[in-house]
Amino acid sequence: MAWGSLIGVFPILGTTTALCGVAGVAFKFNHIAMQAMNWLVYPLQIVLVIPFLQLGNIIFGQPPLTLSIEEISAMFTEDFITAARNLGGLALRGIAAWFIVAIPATWLVARILISPLRGLAGKISTGNNKP
């Protein structure tokens, strides 16, 4: 579930389902749990795209991002190849920022989720699943 959350906020829209699938196969994770978390954090992904891109620019000493998510989306809709060429460096810097932030955050999410999930699993296995 933590990995689904991590991948779910990846700063490149439209890539997370495939990335969760690849990670699930590579690491033998529970695909249903990963995809469920991926979809649950989708609103967070939308909110975090610009901050990850901004942080990437800060880390690499680039000027602040002046585009909105709507403007970036419009650029890709108008001419995908040109937008990819012009914004490729920005995307890579955003991915680098995501790595720096998301890896420790995944550890934290895993630590937060592990105790309640173990308790739930214990209740289910003993048949004592009344609220």
List pLDDT tens digits, range 7-38.
888 988 888 889 888 988 998 888 888 899 88
List pLDDT tens digits, range 92-126.
999 999 999 988 887 887 788 777 767 666 666 66
pLDDT of 126? 62
Full DSSP string of 28-80: T--HHHHHHHHHHTHHHHHHHHHHHHHHHHHHTTPPPP---HHHHHHHHHH-H
pTM of the complete model = 0.75
pLDDT of 33? 86
Q: What is the distance of C-alpha 1 from the center of its chain?
A: 12
Rounded Cα gap, residues 63 and 21, in angstroms: 35
Residue 64 tokens read as: 């602040």
